[in-house]
Amino acid sequence: MKLIDKYLITIILIISLFSLFNSILLRFFNFGFLLLTLSFIFLLYSVASKPNIFKILISLLLFLGIWLKYFVRSLLTPGEFNDPVGHFNYSSNLVSEIFINIAFIIFLISFIFNCNYKSYNYNISKIKINLNFNFQIIIIFSIFLILFVNYFYEIDYRGLNTHSSGFWIYFYKYFIHILSPIFIFTFIDKNYVKDNLKFPFLCLFLFLYAMSINSRSFVFEGFLLLIFFISKFGDFKNYKKYLIFFLLYLILAITNFYYVNSTRYAIFLSNNNLQLSTESTFNDVKTYIKKTSENVGYYSLFIDRWVGLEPIFAIYSYPNKSIETFKDAILEKKDSNISFYDSKIIHDSTYLETNNNNIFYQNIPGIIGFSLYPGNLFITLIFIGLIFYSLCFLLGSINSGFFSTYIVSFMIAWRISHFGYAPLFTFYYLILIFLTYYFLNKSLKWKR
């Protein structure tokens, strides 16, 4: 992880330099943002001191969704955000107040990351299964076949279709969202696959996986996998090999990003309840597209699509924060017609005007924003502390393989950063991830 350490230290120095000049660069500079900047510097320092993949991934997602988004927005379009922010009034005093509270949360996460976590070998099952190599190949073939079927028939597009019901759909989602990626990455760890074939194989799988479930995470996930792959097997003298890998990733990433964003955008427009007539002017269409907050451009990918800042502003400024609100949010049921966050917090959510009969749309509060529902900083810190300490404790025991560790860490970091819709199902999701990982790594005997 030495290469990663150098990257993190470089990022820390860059952020430190920004903090020295932010009073000049930012039009809405306030003390709260300075404290928030310091908290993120401390967070990155904590990760660099005791790094693991989960800490790096979740810290990067929090940084992109909160600090970087505010910094860039303040420079380019001050006071304007694509996603709705509820009752937030854009006052500099309120921004400072919010960032001071968020800084306490980031400092707490940094402290948790600094703790030592031992590795344990859990024997969750006494059942021993001898899964021979031929059967492994059959499972991999079945995974790719189901991904193709899911792509062509749109059975379960992540973030687009959540209204399918019945036991079979939950088993199907488990297979396609959890078992498939963990199995593929564990297969790479447990078999003698040449290093030159590992990244291309995983990159192609992630591409098909992302295309099938319509997720933009491949752009982020594939690039990080490339970095971690180079740091793990880094023979920097053979730079041509890594250049080819990067070009492969770049081609797949651009293809995936274009397809996913254009598909989501087209489906969203076709399911809106605000019908645009053929007589609508160009400005009418432009205004409506802006209102939908579905930006297809690259700017949206790198700035607006990271979850964090807008929900923090919206929930913090929500007048009815309480323990009851917090409890109602935790007990939210999956597959409802409109999410708790959109219906209760975002009074101007465009998804309130969308047809959700077949396709389900929702804004996501994120883990930091969700923790603000109680309206009590003490309860917020307890909630954040329990979640992050538990995850660090459990993830500290993941050491069976480099690639399977990566995919499990990414799946959990991505879900936690997007936490907030039907939280109980998120906890079920995390449990299934751990059970699947340990079953494949501890219980199965792989023929090599």
For 155-178, write each residue's pLDDT tens digit: 776 555 545 556 777 888 899 999
Q: Which of 347 and 153 is assigned the larger pLDDT?
A: 153
Q: What is the mean predicted confidence (pLDDT) over 240-261?
A: 84
Residue type, 345: I
Distance spanning both ends of the chain, measured CA to CA: 27
Residue pair 184/288 in contact by the 8 Å Cβ criterion = no
Band of pLDDT at residue 280, cut at 50, 70 and 90: very low
Calculate ∠ Cα 58-59-61, nearest 5°.
Answer: 65
Residue type, 207: F
Q: Which residue has the tokens 């019908």?
A: 275
Predicted pLDDT at 33? 85
The domains of the chain are located at: 131-273+392-446
Beta bridge partners of 444: 129
- DSSP assignment of 196-217 equals HHHHHHHHHHHHHHHHHHT-TH
Residue pair 272/352 in contact by the 8 Å Cβ criterion = no
A 10 A CB-CB count for 423 gives 18
| DSSP-derived 3-state class of residue 446 | strand
User: CA 278 to CA 275: how far, in whole Å?
Assistant: 10
Res. 252: pLDDT tops 70:
yes
Span 89-132, pLDDT tens digits: 878 788 889 999 999 999 999 999 988 877 665 555 555 666 67
Calculate ∠ Cα 99-101-103, nearest 5°.
Answer: 65
| DSSP-derived 3-state class of residue 266 | helix
Q: Is the sign of the CA dihedral 367, 369, 372, 378 positive or negative? A: positive
User: CA 159 to CA 103: how far, in whole Å?
Assistant: 30
| DSSP-derived 3-state class of residue 354 | strand
Q: What is the mean predicted confidence (pLDDT) over 185-192?
A: 83
Predicted pLDDT at 282? 43
Distances (CA, A) of 131 to 183, 433, 443, 447: 12, 20, 10, 7
Band of pLDDT at residue 298, cut at 50, 70 and 90: low
Span 192-219, pLDDT tens digits: 677 788 889 999 899 888 887 767 788 8
Helix (H) / strand (E) containing 129: strand 129-131
Residue pair 11/44 in contact by the 8 Å Cβ criterion = yes
Read off the DSSP letter of residue 351: G
Res. 273: pLDDT tops 60:
no
Q: Which of 368 and 209 is assigned the larger pLDDT?
A: 368
